[in-house]
């Protein structure tokens, strides 16, 4: 007798369903999508035991007729297309008519529905399924819309059930799906209940930002900036809109990053990298922004069928899209900082400074004794004493229309003070110089052979960090970093990139190891970029002038001039501001001159 036999149809369906539906979050996604397609304006979700016990979605959409209520669980049952040609039309939503059939094959389903055309007195329909088998059908008093309850997910597929992740991981996945729909459909009223408690209640709003306020912590939601993008129209009509958090708020995970392509939530590594590239040098290491990005483009340039759950997409021109995104992010952040620093006038740009001959140096102003100001509010007291000499006034050439500014001096041997137009600008000399060095290094960095360390350095690391380093050993050698394992908790570094030779190598190795460890799947491009950024940041920090260094007038002038010319000049490598300003009007208010 042959060994091959055909699986019974219900077993085949179950296996196929298990392939498509792999976790509670995916069921939730299919159900909410159906509610949205049904035109619902209110969607309420109840989750029990992170979806293993119950996933219930109640909507006020169009509901189903008696026949449809039963038919919707059949394979290839859909009201959304009639033939393969229609598929093109709804391509962005992937293959049609499989979701409910799959869900019903691997759970116990209750469906209660009533069509909006039915007159008030007509009852709704209630249907129970268990693993594809119709258990019961009857009538029930209910409102218009659909209430679908999925219980005991994977009850007949213990293997699948075993592969579910930790409860919090499954819950996070459910919450991400829910949040994504909230963000992309801000006019719908969404509610989410977890084990009986309401965790999100988001009535419909018009503006995305209000939606973010309903969903996220206020620092994130208030910190959102509209994406500045003047390249919205391309030959292929790609548009990118949305909002981003500014450089002073971040999280240690990616849970606030959402991309939507033609209205549909997608995951795409390349887009995520392009976003982070826009933030490079602005956020601290291993920190992530909040971003809600909507990309709209002709459907023929997007392939959604590379992933069974349609969560991933492939673009016809990925490079162009990524560059657009990075540029838009950079522009948004730049403009934001410029705006906050220069509420009235343009940012410091192309100043024309000239140094006066020594003789024209202004005499030192009278410096008030510190206690004179100690009771004043901080804004004033911070500029009022300990002005370190020499206080040099440098006037720009008195040409008409030329912007002018004056170097007032150095404060606490740490901050430079400039008078410009109707404001006073404070510059943190270390932060500013660090940014300058970093940007220059970024431009000029070339990978070089490592130099052998005279005294090889022993670095203590966790075993898993050492494993991470080992995985990338060849790559690290190419970058000039050579090391050997001493024990399962120690490595010895034998060579380092020449640029790093005077810098704490242990710190550098720990940084790299931590980074590798935190990014379970890491491509060498990203590692390379990060490694270089670490090298630049380390060097910039070590070589930049320090707080406490007294600067000559020449040095101050050079610093300000250099700062003018670098990218990201408003923020230091660690995300702190390099400068801030106080308007003259502020002073006038304090002294009651207005
Ligand atoms: P698809 O959504 O791809 O058509 P599904 O299996 O998800 O396939 O749903 C099958 C059909 O059931 C839908 O086409 C729709 O007609 C009906 N349906 C499912 N959910 C709802 C709902 N919440 N409200 C109204 N009709 C629904
Ligand atoms: Mg569907």
Q: What is the CATH number of the domain that holds 376?
A: 3.30.1540.20
The reported pLDDT for the residue numbered 58 is 98
Ligand 1 within 6 A of 58 CB? no
> From the alpha carbon of 59, which atom of ligand 1 is closest?
23
Domain encompassing residue 379: 352-443+547-590
What CATH number does the domain containing 265 carry? Answer: 3.30.230.10
Kindly identify the ligand whose nearest atom is closest to the C-alpha of 67. 1
Ligand 1 within 6 A of 91 CB? no
Q: What is the spatial order of strands in the sheet that 264-266 belongs to?
A: 224-226, 239-245, 291-296, 257-261, 264-266
Distance CA 174, CA 46 (A): 11
Distance CA 34, CA 580 (A): 50
Residues 325 and 385 in one domain: no
Ligand 1 within 6 A of 38 CB? yes
Residues 158 and 176 in one domain: yes
Kindly identify the ligand whose nearest atom is closest to the C-alpha of 101. 1
Ligand 1 within 6 A of 96 CB? yes
Distance 148 CA to ligand 2 centre (A): 13
Q: Is residue 249 part of a domain?
A: yes
Distance 99 CA to ligand 1 centre (A): 8
The reported pLDDT for the residue numbered 529 is 75
Scored b (16 or more CB within 10 A) or e, 7-21 reads eeeeeebbebbbebb
Kindly identify the ligand whose nearest atom is closest to the C-alpha of 127. 1
> From the alpha carbon of 93, which atom of ligand 1 is closest?
3
> From the alpha carbon of 81, which atom of ligand 1 is closest?
4
Residue 155 has phi, psi (to 5 degrees) of -60, -30
Distance 171 CA to ligand 1 centre (A): 25
Distance CA 162, CA 20 (A): 16
As averages over each run of 10 residues, the pLDDT of the chain (594 residues) reads 75 76 93 95 97 97 92 79 52 61 92 84 91 88 95 90 89 96 96 95 88 87 82 67 87 90 90 91 82 89 70 80 89 75 38 30 27 25 27 36 75 93 90 90 78 89 89 85 92 86 76 73 70 77 87 90 83 82 87 86
Distance CA 531, CA 472 (A): 12
Q: Look at residues 140, 173, 204 and tell me which one is the last residue of a structural domain.
A: 204
The reported pLDDT for the residue numbered 503 is 67
> From the alpha carbon of 96, which atom of ligand 1 is closest?
3
Ligand 1 pocket test, candidate residues 16, 79, 115, 132, most atoms within 8 A of CB = 79
Ligand 1 within 6 A of 72 CB? yes
Count other Cβ atoms within 10 Å, centred on residue 134: 12
Kindly identify the ligand whose nearest atom is closest to the C-alpha of 79. 1
Residues 93 and 184 in one domain: yes
Distance CA 283, CA 333 (A): 11
Distance CA 285, CA 526 (A): 13
Ligand 1 pocket test, candidate residues 35, 37, 102, most atoms within 8 A of CB = 37
Which two three-digit tokens encode residue 273?
């990298």
Distance 524 CA to ligand 2 centre (A): 38
Residues 504 and 561 in one domain: no
Distance 63 CA to ligand 2 centre (A): 14
* Residue nearest (by alpha carbon) to ligand 1 atom 18: 34
Q: Is the dihedral of CA 303, 306, 308, 313 positive or negative?
A: negative
The reported pLDDT for the residue numbered 200 is 94
For the question of whether the overall pTM of this predicted structure is more than 0.85, the answer is: no
* Residue nearest (by alpha carbon) to ligand 1 atom 21: 34
Please state whether beta strands 423-428 and 579-583 pair in parallel, antiparallel, or not at all (unpaired): antiparallel
Ligand 1 within 6 A of 71 CB? no
Angle, vertex CA 336, rays to CA 330 and CA 337, nearest 5 = 95
Count helices and strands (H / E) in the chain: 19, 23
Distance CA 136, CA 108 (A): 12
SS3 state at 487: strand
Residues 69 and 177 in one domain: yes
Q: Is residue 3 part of a domain?
A: no
Q: Is the dihedral of CA 65, 66, 67, 71 positive or negative?
A: positive
Closest-CA residue to 130 (of 106, 98, 154): 106
Counted domains in the chain? 4
Which two three-digit tokens encode residue 353?
């400074």
Q: Is the dihedral of CA 519, 523, 525, 531 positive or negative?
A: positive
CA 173 remoteness from chain centre: 16
Residues 570 and 525 in one domain: no
- Measured between its terminal Cα atoms, the distance across the chain in Å is 102
Q: Is residue 123 part of a domain?
A: yes
Q: Is residue 27 part of a domain?
A: yes
Ligand 1 within 6 A of 116 CB? no
Q: What is the DSSP letter of 262?
A: T
Closest-CA residue to 48 (of 23, 24, 21): 24
Ligand 1 within 6 A of 176 CB? no
Check: CB of residue 203 under 8 Å from CB of residue 215.
no
Ligand 1 within 6 A of 517 CB? no
* Residue nearest (by alpha carbon) to ligand 1 atom 19: 34
Residues 28 and 72 in one domain: yes
Residues 470 and 512 in one domain: yes
Kindly identify the ligand whose nearest atom is closest to the C-alpha of 29. 2
Ligand 1 within 6 A of 99 CB? yes
CA 526 remoteness from chain centre: 16
Kindly identify the ligand whose nearest atom is closest to the C-alpha of 73. 1
Ligand 1 within 6 A of 307 CB? no
Q: Is residue 149 part of a domain?
A: yes
Residue 109 has phi, psi (to 5 degrees) of -115, 140
Percent of the chain that is helix, strand, coil (3-state, to 5)? 40, 25, 40
Ligand 1 within 6 A of 137 CB? no
Residues 400 and 253 in one domain: no
SS3 state at 352: coil
The reported pLDDT for the residue numbered 60 is 96
Q: Is residue 346 part of a domain?
A: no
Residues 438 and 586 in one domain: yes
For residue 145, what is the enclosing H or E element? strand 145-151
Ligand 1 within 6 A of 147 CB? no
Residues 65 and 182 in one domain: yes
Residues 371 and 495 in one domain: no
* Residue nearest (by alpha carbon) to ligand 1 atom 25: 63
The reported pLDDT for the residue numbered 283 is 80
Q: What is the DSSP letter of 111?
A: E
């Amino acid at each position: 007798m042959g060994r091959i036999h055909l699986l019974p149809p219900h077993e085949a369906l179950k296996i196929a369903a298990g392939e498509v539906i792999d976790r509670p979050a995916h069921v939730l996604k299919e159900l909410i999508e159906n509610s949205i397609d049904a035109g619902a304006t209110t969607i309420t979700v109840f989750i029990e035991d992170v979806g293993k016990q119950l996933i219930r979605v109640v909507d006020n959409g169009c509901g189903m007729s008696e026949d449809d209520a039963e038919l919707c669980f059949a394979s290839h049952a859909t009201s959304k297309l009639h033939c393969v040609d229609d598929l093109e039309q709804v391509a962005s939503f992937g293959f049609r008519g499989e979701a409910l059939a799959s869900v019903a094959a691997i759970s116990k389903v209750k469906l209660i529905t009533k069509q909006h055309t039915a007159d008030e007195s007509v009852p709704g329909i209630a249907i129970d399924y268990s693993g594809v088998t119709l258990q019961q059908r009857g009538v029930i008093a209910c409102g218009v819309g659909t209430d679908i309850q999925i219980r005991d997910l994977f009850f007949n597929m213990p293997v699948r059930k075993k592969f579910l992740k930790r409860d919090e991981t499954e819950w996070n996945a459910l919450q991400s799906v829910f949040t994504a729909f909230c963000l992309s459909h801000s006019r719908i009223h969404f509610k989410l209940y977890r084990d009986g408690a309401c965790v999100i209640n988001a009535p419909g709003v018009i503006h995305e930002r209000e939606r973010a306020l309903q969903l996220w912590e206020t620092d994130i939601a208030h910190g959102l900036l509209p994406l500045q993008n003047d390249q919205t129209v391309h030959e292929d009509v790609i548009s990118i809109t949305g909002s981003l958090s500014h450089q002073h708020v971040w999280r240690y995970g990616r849970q606030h990053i959402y991309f939507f392509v033609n209205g549909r939530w997608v995951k795409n590594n390349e887009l995520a990298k392009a976003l982070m590239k826009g933030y490079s040098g602005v956020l601290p290491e291993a920190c992530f922004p909040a971003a809600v990005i909507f990309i709209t483009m002709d459907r023929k340039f997007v392939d959604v069928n590379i992933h069974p759950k349609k969560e991933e997409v492939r673009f016809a021109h990925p490079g162009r899209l990524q560059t657009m995104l990075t540029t838009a992010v950079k522009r948004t952040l730049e403009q934001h900082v410029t705006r906050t620093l220069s509420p009235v006038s343009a940012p410091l740009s192309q100043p024309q400074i000239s140094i006066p001959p020594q003789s024209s140096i202004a005499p030192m102003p009278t410096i008030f004794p510190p206690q004179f100001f100690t009771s004043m509010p901080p804004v004033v007291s911070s500029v009022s004493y300990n002005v370190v000499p020499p206080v040099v006034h440098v006037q720009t050439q008195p040409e008409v229309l030329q912007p002018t500014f004056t170097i007032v001096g150095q404060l606490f041997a740490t901050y430079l003070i400039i008078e410009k137009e109707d404001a006073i600008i404070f510059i943190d000399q270390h932060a500013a110089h660090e940014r300058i060095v970093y940007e220059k290094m970024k431009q000029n960095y070339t990978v070089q052979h490592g130099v052998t360390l005279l005294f090889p350095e022993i670095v203590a690391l966790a075993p898993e960090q050492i494993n991470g380093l080992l995985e990338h050993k060849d790559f690290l050698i190419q970058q000039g970093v050579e090391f050997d394992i001493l024990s399962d908790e120690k490595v010895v570094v034998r060579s380092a990139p020449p640029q790093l030779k005077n810098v704490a190598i242990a710190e550098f190795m720990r940084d790299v190891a931590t980074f590798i460890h935190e990014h379970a799947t890491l491509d060498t491009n990203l590692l390379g970029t990060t490694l270089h950024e670490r090298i630049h940041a380390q060097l910039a920090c070590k070589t930049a002038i320090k707080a406490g260094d007294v600067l000559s007038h020449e040095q101050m002038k050079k610093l300000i001039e250099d700062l003018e010319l670098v990218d990201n000049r408003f923020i230091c490598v660690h995300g702190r501001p390099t400068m801030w300003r106080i308007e003259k009007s502020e002073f006038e208010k304090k002294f009651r001159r207005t």
